[in-house]
């Protein structure tokens, strides 16, 4: 058109339309290892963002899909706890630009649905956790491998060098943030820490019990300490985890295997009346019921943080609730994701909390199967 100023933007827009070929860990079927494959990642459509993943954490929720405890369609690219750099954006994206550091959000924030507009909730109706469709909001996928369509995982899919997410499912973060650390704010840390300070609203001087001392459980411990809890009882069948729990704020550590009586009775005896707040961070129905039972009978609050197994129900004495206890659930720590993640990253940079103790191993992407072995063995 004779306007040389248009050449660079036009060239950039054409580059953004290119399909990217990269490596991804594809899960072809349940209970099988990941397969490192070359996949094709389509360009972002309108209101979508394509991200180069720089670091991704391994979460028990990913493993739940592999074992069938969390039902999702196969083949699929798992992963949901990550940080990266924006490679390109689709039409209509104005809040994020190429080069921005970002964290994908498995709980989006559309800003329009009832939960987003309410001060009481954070589980945006645009989430893919409940439906498990494994597709972008328009009902299609951006991943192809060996000519086959590959499903997304809860709107993120971070076990790949490049991914595509909806604009409502990505948060721009401070350019100074170390991505290999703050990737944990994409799930584990935020989920646990928020369960204590956001969902339960732990009070100064209160007593707490935390069932499960993985990365999320340790983050609950950190949240309870930050909220001023006077006693934090860490519960796990792996005593090797107790040292780190105490380092992060636990005052007592209990292994249920050391007692003949049920663990809820042990905790009631330890506290004299039950704890003010309990957190189940494992995803087992037995421990969910135990966490509820160990609460103070009238005003105790128990929070379910671990992903419940599919097709399982809980049987419990309704008197546990009749006397006044509160049973709550917490997804992503109750945070409004797009609003809160940048603030949490800023707080990390201000040294308001630590993340290093939550990182036990740093592995190359090709060793993802070894990473899951470490997860399953409690290491």
DSSP annotation string for 76-118: EE----EEEEEEEE-TT--S--TT-EEEE-SS---SSSHHHH-
Residue 276 and residue 299 in contact, taking contact as beta carbons nearer than 8 Å: yes
Q: Which pLDDT band holds residue 205 (cuts at 50, 70, 90)? A: very high
- Give domain limits for the chain: 15-188+335-377, 200-329
Taking 90 as the threshold, does the pLDDT of residue 151 lie above it? yes
CATH for the 15-188+335-377 domain, from 3.90.180.10, 3.10.20.90, 3.30.2320.50, 3.40.1190.20: 3.90.180.10
Taking 80 as the threshold, does the pLDDT of residue 11 lie above it? no
pLDDT at 312: 81
Active site (annotated) includes residue 59: yes
pLDDT tens column, 70-103: 999 999 999 999 999 999 999 999 999 999 999 9
Active site (annotated) includes residue 1: no
Residue 318 neighbours by CB under 8 Å, 6+ apart? none
Q: What percent of the chain has pLDDT over 90?
A: 91
Taking 80 as the threshold, does the pLDDT of residue 378 lie above it? yes
Q: Which pLDDT band holds residue 15 (cuts at 50, 70, 90)? A: low
pLDDT tens column, 290-337: 999 999 999 999 999 998 887 788 888 999 999 999 999 999 999 999
Of the two residues 349 and 129, the one the predictor is more confident about is 349
| Architecture, CATH, for domain 200-329 | 3-Layer(aba) Sandwich (3.40)
326 forms beta bridges with 301
Q: Which pLDDT band holds residue 16 (cuts at 50, 70, 90)? A: low
Q: What are phi and psi of 229, to 5 degrees?
A: -60, 140
Options 59, 124, 208, 294, the catalytic residue: 59
Active site (annotated) includes residue 187: yes
Q: Which pLDDT band holds residue 131 (cuts at 50, 70, 90)? A: confident
Options 116, 187, 224, 294, the catalytic residue: 187
pLDDT tens column, 344-374: 999 999 999 999 999 999 999 999 999 999 9
Active site (annotated) includes residue 64: yes
Q: Tokens at residue 188, please?
A: 């584990």
pLDDT tens column, 53-65: 999 999 999 999 9
Average pLDDT, the chain: 94
Helices (H), the chain: 7-16, 60-67, 114-117, 179-182, 188-194, 215-226, 242-247, 263-271, 285-293, 319-322, 337-349, 368-376
Q: Tokens at residue 104, please?
A: 């994908």
Options 47, 61, 124, 239, the catalytic residue: 61
Rounded average pLDDT over 274-291 = 96
Taking 50 as the threshold, does the pLDDT of residue 2 lie above it? no
Rounded average pLDDT over 209-213 = 98
Supply the pTM of this predicted model: 0.93
| Tokens 């994409």, residue located | 186
Rounded average pLDDT over 188-215 = 98
């Amino acid at each position: 058109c004779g306007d040389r100023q248009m050449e660079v933007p036009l060239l950039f827009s054409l580059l953004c339309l290119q399909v990217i070929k990269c490596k991804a860990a594809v899960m072809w079927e349940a209970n099988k290892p990941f397969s490192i494959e070359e996949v094709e990642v389509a360009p972002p459509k309108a209101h979508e963002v394509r991200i180069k993943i720089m670091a991704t954490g391994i979460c028990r929720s990913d493993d739940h899909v592999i074992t069938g405890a969390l039902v999702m369609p196969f083949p699929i690219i798992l992963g949901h706890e990550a940080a990266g750099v924006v490679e390109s954006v689709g039409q209509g994206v104005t809040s994020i630009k190429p080069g921005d550091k970002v964290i994908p959000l498995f709980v989006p924030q559309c800003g329009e649905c009832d939960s987003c507009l309410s001060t009481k909730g954070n589980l945006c109706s645009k989430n893919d956790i409940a439906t498990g469709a494994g597709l972008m909001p328009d009902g299609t996928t951006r991943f192809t491998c060996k000519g086959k369509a590959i499903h997304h995982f809860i709107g993120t899919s971070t076990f790949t060098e490049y991914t595509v997410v909806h604009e409502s499912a990505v948060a721009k973060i401070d350019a100074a943030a170390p991505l290999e650390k703050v990737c944990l704010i994409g799930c584990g840390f935020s989920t646990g820490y928020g369960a204590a300070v956001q969902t339960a609203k732990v009070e100064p001087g209160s007593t707490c019990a935390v069932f499960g001392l993985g990365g999320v459980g340790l983050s609950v411990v950190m949240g309870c300490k930050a909220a001023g809890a006077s006693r934090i009882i860490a519960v796990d069948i792996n005593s090797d985890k107790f040292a780190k729990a105490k380092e992060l704020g636990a005052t007592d550590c209990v292994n249920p295997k050391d007692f003949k009586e049920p663990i809820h009775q042990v905790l009631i005896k330890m506290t004299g009346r039950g704890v003010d707040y309990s957190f189940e961070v494992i995803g087992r129905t037995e421990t969910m019921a135990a966490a509820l039972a160990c609460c103070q009978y009238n005003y105790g609050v128990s929070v379910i943080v671990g992903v419940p197994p599919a097709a399982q129900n809980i049987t419990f004495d309704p008197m546990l609730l009749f006397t006044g206890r509160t049973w709550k659930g917490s997804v992503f720590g109750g945070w409004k994701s797009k609003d809160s993640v940048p603030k949490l990253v800023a707080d990390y940079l201000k040294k308001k909390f630590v993340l290093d103790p939550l990182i036990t191993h740093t592995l190359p992407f090709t060793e993802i199967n070894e990473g899951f072995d470490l997860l399953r063995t409690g290491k």
